[in-house]
Amino acid sequence: MSQPVKHPRTTHLVVSAMGEDRPGLAEHLSRVILESGCNIQDSHMSALGGTFAALILVSGNWNTLSKLDGALTILGRQAELEILSRRTGPRQNTGPSLPYAVDVIALDQPGIVHQLVGFFTARAVGIRELNSHAYVASHSGTPMLNAHLSVEIPTTEHIASLREDFLDFCDELNLDGVIEPVKG
pLDDT in tens, 151-165: 999 999 999 999 999
Q: Which range, of 60-64, 86-90, 99-103, averages the lowest pLDDT?
A: 86-90
CATH superfamily membership of 97-181 = ACT domain (3.30.70.260)
Q: Does residue 67 carry a pLDDT above 70?
A: yes
pTM of the model: 0.78
Same fold, 11-88 and 97-181: yes
Say which residue, 9 or 173, is predicted with more confidence: 173
Q: How far is CA 117 from the centre of its chain?
A: 14
Instruction: Check residue 7 and give its pLDDT.
Output: 44
Mean pLDDT confidence for 106-123? 95
Strands (E), 73-142: 82-88, 97-107, 126-136
Cα-based torsion angle of the residue sequence 84, 86, 92, 98 in order, rounded to the nearest 10 degrees: 20
pLDDT of residue 9: 66
Using the predicted structure, report yes or no on whether residue 176 has a pLDDT greater than 80.
Answer: yes
Q: Which CATH superfamily is domain 11-88 in?
A: ACT domain (3.30.70.260)
